[in-house]
Amino acid sequence: MKLKFILLLLTAIALVFSFIGAKEPFTWWLEAFPVILGVLALAIFRKFEFTNLIYIVIFIHFLVLLLGAHYTYAEVPGFEWMNKILGGTRNNYDKIGHLVQGFSPALIAREILIRRKVLNKKSWLFFLIICIVLAISAVYELLEWVVSLFSGESGDSFLGTQGYIWDTQTDIFTALIGALLALIFFSKIHDRKIGELQN
């Protein structure tokens, strides 16, 4: 059985467990929607086979989203240790979510751009991927804002600022760090996996 089908099955199980006993059902749908959308996108564009590395990265991203959806990002237990590093009293689990929000799209975009031969010059690859990640992160922040405007208090958990005035900016910055980590430390491994797939 192909790895992607195993990961799809595990994602379905994680969705169910995340939904059961979710702290706020409305917030769960908002937070889990990217997972559902991602699964649909992979199903619709199934002719494009990613490397196993990408499927694993996507699966980890899904798990991070579903854990946040179950508890709401402000109340995921076990992340108090991050306050010693980042300071403050807020739950910083959302920063892990935004780190992955940069890491995962960076490698996905990298694979699509390389394998579809979108660029004539590979020297533009790094810059273009960073732009894509920052665009995705900014759009997500705008989406959070719009949902919060139209849903009132129901959307506050989705917005997840926890009273921190720089939440939006630090979310985007954290996504940038995630993208940089992916490109700096995983590009060679990724190139090797792409080479194996094309052979």
| Sign of the four-CA dihedral 30, 35, 36, 37 | positive
Q: How far is CA 18 from CA 44, 60, 131, 154, 185, in A?
A: 24, 14, 32, 19, 31
Entry pTM: 0.93
pLDDT of 155 above 70: no
The pLDDT-based confidence of 193 (bands split at 50, 70, 90) is very high
Q: Where are the domains of the chain?
A: 3-198
Phi, psi of 51, rounded to the nearest 5 degrees: -70, 160
Bigger pLDDT: 158 or 192?
192
CB atoms within 10 A of CB 149: 10
Using DSSP, state whether 97 is helix, strand or coil: helix
Over residues 101-122, the mean pLDDT reads 96
What does the mean pLDDT of the chain come to? 92
pLDDT of 144 above 90: no
pLDDT of 199 above 70: no
Per the listing, tokens 């940089």 go with 180
What does the block give as tokens for 117? 């031969």
The pLDDT assigned to 49 comes to 93
Percent of residues, the chain, with pLDDT higher than 70? 93
d(CA 134, CA 112): 17
The pLDDT assigned to 79 comes to 87
**Checking phi first, is residue 22 left (phi over 0); if not, alpha (psi -120 to 50) or beta?**
beta
d(CA 65, CA 177): 18
Contact yes or no for 175/137 (Cβ under 8 A): yes
- Over residues 84-97, the pLDDT tens digits come to 787 777 888 999 99
d(CA 126, CA 193): 18
- Over residues 67-77, the pLDDT tens digits come to 999 999 889 99
Contact yes or no for 79/29 (Cβ under 8 A): no
Contact yes or no for 163/125 (Cβ under 8 A): no
The pLDDT assigned to 156 comes to 65
21-30, 52-61, 104-113: the lowest-pLDDT one: 21-30
The pLDDT-based confidence of 23 (bands split at 50, 70, 90) is very high
